[in-house]
Amino acid sequence: MSDWSLWVMFLAVGIGTFVMRLSFVELYGRWRIPTLLSRALVYVPASVLAALVLPAVVYPHGQGEFAFDNPQIPAAIIAAWIAWKTRSTVLTLAVGMATLWGLKILAL
Amino acid sequence: MTYRTGREAFIHGIRTLIPLTPGVVPFGLITGVMAVEMGMSPAMSIGMTLLFYSGSAQLVALQLLQNGALPVTIVATALIINLRFIMYSASLAPYLHHLPRRWTWPVSYLLSDQSYALCSLKFSSGELGRFAPHFYAGTAFAMWLTWQLSVFAGVYLGASIPETWSLTFAVPLSFLALLVPSIRGSASLGAAVVGGLIAVFAVKLPYNLGLVTASIGGVIAGLLIESIRKKTLSSASVNNVGRESR
């Protein structure tokens, strides 16, 4: 992709995100958020994040090639457990990466 | 705590944010490293960071760029992830809307998960007094500076990290670190399970449409579980009332 189209894309996301951040601060008193929308928005983070994590873990080589000797799966399970127990980003990243490196060294 | 001056409130806002920085810096570093590994110039990586000012959307956009997704898909996905800001905006608006535009526009740009989390309860309890917007601006500015500096550091570290470290795995790991705390009950768990599974099975859909399909499927699953639980709860309480009155 050319630098130009990248800049256009970044600008589109930047403006769109700014409009969402400003939305109700600007429109206060003139527009109310529909109930169904505010209920639905609660589930957006869990749904989108899971949809990002699972394929990236299951298919280490990209598009849809499942591999049985994939050390990312046990590493991700252990990292998820650490995230659940500690709620710490730093520990989740450190333990997940260390597990992946450990498994790769063992497999060599 | 009520403040005597706006300056005092602003500085206390900065101080309140500092304990959150250890969770932010690693994300920023990874974002910077990923941008450079994608072949972006430092200027472009920093421009992207300033325009987005949203770590999860930026990491997602980088990953989709790597997968060769269409620009429209990338923009749509990044904006879907940022839909939560509408919610934040709605809940902070009663305390910020009276300010002049030269303040509402910059403080809206600075809105983040962290300063929302720090301010929403304090705003509604009224404990901050009349300098509440200054306190918010302090947390928001400190968060923005932390984020920009850590991405900047990542951009300059990036080039020196060897590929054998498999650092690309840090991206799903950092999403995992955001995902786990966002699961607060059976409905959000259902949303995550359904969203994740659809994404795995729909991975071969063209233009990364699998991600959008999976996200919508997950949200619908969450809403369904929520309404089923509400029904069983209300019918259970009706039965209890019936029993007690007998």
Confidence of residue A46 (pLDDT cuts 50, 70, 90): confident
- Put simply, whether the predicted model's pTM sits higher than 0.80 gets the answer no
User: Is-contact B185 B228, C-beta < 8 A?
Assistant: no
User: Is-contact B202 B214, C-beta < 8 A?
Assistant: yes
For B136-189, what is each residue's pLDDT tens digit? 999 999 999 999 999 999 999 877 777 777 777 887 887 888 789 888 899 999
Q: Is A88 on the interface with B (CB under 8 A)?
A: yes
- Write the single-letter amino acid at B206: P
Residue B105 parent element (H or E): helix B101-109
Within 10 angstroms of residue A39's Cβ, the number of other Cβ atoms is 15
For B110-146, what is each residue's pLDDT tens digit? 999 888 878 877 887 888 888 999 999 999 999 999 9
Could you give the CA distance from residue B100 to residue B123 in angstroms, rounded to a whole number? 19
CB contact under 8 A, A50 and B218: yes
For A63-105, what is each residue's pLDDT tens digit? 667 777 889 999 999 999 999 999 887 899 899 999 999 999 9
Q: Please spell the DSSP secondary structure of B43-102, one letter per residue.
A: HHHHHHHHHH--HHHHHHHHHHHHHT--HHHHHHHHHHHTTHHHHHHHHHHHHHTTS-HH
**Residue that has been written with the tokens 């919610």 in this structure:** B87
Chain A, 13 to 72: residues with Cβ < 8 Å from chain B are 13-14, 16-18, 20-29, 33, 36, 38-59, 62-64, 72
Q: Is B133 on the interface with A (CB under 8 A)?
A: no
> Helix count (H) and strand count (E) of chain B?
12, 0
Tokens of B54: 């949203």
CB contact under 8 A, B52 and A90: no
Could you give the CA distance from residue B22 to residue B189 in angstroms, rounded to a whole number? 27
Could you give the CA distance from residue B146 to residue B20 in angstroms, rounded to a whole number? 10
**Residue of A54, A86, A100 best to disrupt the B interface, most CBs of B under 10 A:** A54
